[in-house]
């Protein structure tokens, strides 16, 4: 078999990807060190063949290194890819005994809105409905002399801890007031318990936590979902067995929500990508501003793409297996993960262990509640004047 003197390695033009919306095809520092370690042990001359982002592909959903290897422009790439059927038809793979799953990340909600998210939306709707309907029923059944607004304010005061005046000494009146008092007390206790737990451990969880909720949010609440262009994930969503995920894939394809410089991950827009990439800036740690979903869209084995008929494939596979089995790859992953955590200060880590005084931003929720109370008081005052 005729071999070229120099091994051509497909790689990206840049060596780091720090933003969550960028493509995962960049050669990270981990893959760079891994490639140098293996190529030096191979003792063959090599050269880097750069590829550019969003290059036209001639092979459906193949990504740039796979396309370059298939067309003979490169011999291999140290970027790790999932072994799909379409890729197996055009290139060979060297497994590295590593798995990865596809999930999504979305921006965490501000801490100032935690007091609203203590109850979910249906609970708030039912509570407000009860606050509006029960005073009307109370006034109609008991034929009280007070107006509907006065009765509703009194019922609201009961929820906030105020006692209700004893208007009539009848069994019907006692039953209705006692029932509402029990409901108001239970509601106040549940809200207080949830509020205390949030003050101790902030929630910061978005409204969507899995792909079904994401699909529903995209359909009904004008959320956006971004996926890498020419990715197998889009085909996976469109042909998924679940109707919600198929609808999500059709929405992404119809609106062409692909990674770009203008794609912003926000509280109403998510990014679907590899967990290995997303977990750098997304997760449960307080300094990470993105929420990482625990839902899994696809679980796949990762491998290095190699040109079919590559003469050094057997030797290369032996070296990769030794590096992987010897724990060197896991060591590099831990080191680069720590360096990434320490390098990017813009991830809003709290590097100062000392306690900080409360700011206006921390008290936004309190101010909003106070303004709502003042507004309600002014409405009642204006009603009394009339």
What are the pLDDT digits (tens) for 176-229?
888 888 888 888 888 888 777 766 665 556 678 888 888 888 888 788 888 877
- Examine the pLDDT at 383 and tell me if it is beyond 60: yes
Write phi, then psi, for 375 (nearest 5 degrees).
Answer: -60, -45
**If pLDDT is split at 50, 70 and 90, which confidence band does 58 have?**
very low
User: How does DSSP assign 46-107, residue by residue?
Assistant: EEEEEE-TT---SSTT--HHHHHHHTTS-SEE-S-EE--HHHHTT-EEEEEEEEEEEEEEEE
Listed residue (107, 101, 118) closest to 290, CA to CA: 107
Listed residue (80, 62, 83) closest to 71, CA to CA: 62
Q: How many CB atoms lie within 10 A of CB 88?
A: 12
What does each C-alpha distance from 139 to 155, 167, 182, 350 come to in angstroms? Answer: 12, 12, 19, 54
The widest CA-to-CA distance across the chain, in whole angstroms, is 104
What are the pLDDT digits (tens) for 231-258?
778 888 888 888 888 888 888 888 888 8
């Amino acid at each position: 078999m005729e071999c070229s003197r120099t091994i051509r390695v497909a790689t990206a033009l840049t060596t780091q990807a720090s933003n969550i919306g960028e493509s995962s095809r960049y050669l990270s520092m981990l893959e760079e060190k891994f490639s140098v370690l293996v190529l030096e042990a191979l003792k063959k001359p090599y050269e880097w063949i750069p590829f550019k982002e969003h290059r036209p592909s001639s092979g459906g959903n193949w990504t740039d290194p796979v396309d370059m290897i298939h067309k003979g422009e490169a011999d291999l790439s140290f970027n790790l890819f999932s072994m799909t059927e379409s890729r197996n038809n055009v290139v060979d793979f060297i497994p590295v005994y590593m798995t990865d799953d596809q999930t999504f990340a979305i921006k965490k909600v501000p801490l100032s809105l935690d007091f609203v998210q203590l109850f979910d939306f249906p609970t708030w709707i039912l509570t407000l409905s009860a606050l509006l309907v029960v005073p009307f029923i109370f006034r109609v059944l008991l034929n009280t002399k007070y107006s509907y607004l006065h009765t509703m304010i009194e019922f609201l005061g009961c929820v906030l801890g105020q006692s209700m005046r004893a208007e009539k000494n009848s069994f019907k009146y006692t039953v209705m007031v006692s029932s509402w008092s029990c409901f108001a007390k239970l509601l106040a206790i549940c809200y207080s318990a949830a509020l205390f737990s949030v003050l101790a451990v902030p929630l910061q969880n978005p409204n969507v936590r899995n792909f079904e909720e994401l699909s529903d949010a995209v359909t009904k609440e004008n959320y956006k979902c971004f996926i890498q262009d020419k990715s197998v994930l889009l085909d996976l969503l469109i042909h998924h067995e679940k109707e919600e995920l198929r609808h999500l894939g059709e929405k992404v394809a119809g609106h062409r929500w692909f990674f770009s410089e203008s794609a912003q991950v926000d509280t109403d827009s998510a990014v679907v990508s590899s967990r290995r990439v997303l977990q750098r800036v997304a997760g449960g740690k307080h300094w990470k501003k993105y929420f990482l979903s625990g839902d899994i869209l696809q679980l796949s084995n990762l491998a290095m793409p190699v040109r079919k008929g590559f003469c050094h494939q057997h030797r290369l596979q032996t070296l990769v297996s030794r590096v992987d089995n010897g724990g060197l790859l896991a060591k590099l992953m831990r080191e680069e993960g720590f360096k990434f955590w320490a390098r990017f200060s813009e991830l809003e880590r709290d590097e100062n262990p000392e306690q900080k005084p409360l700011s206006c931003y921390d008290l936004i929720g309190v101010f909003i509640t106070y303004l709502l109370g003042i507004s309600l008081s002014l409405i009642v005052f204006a009603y009394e004047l009339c």
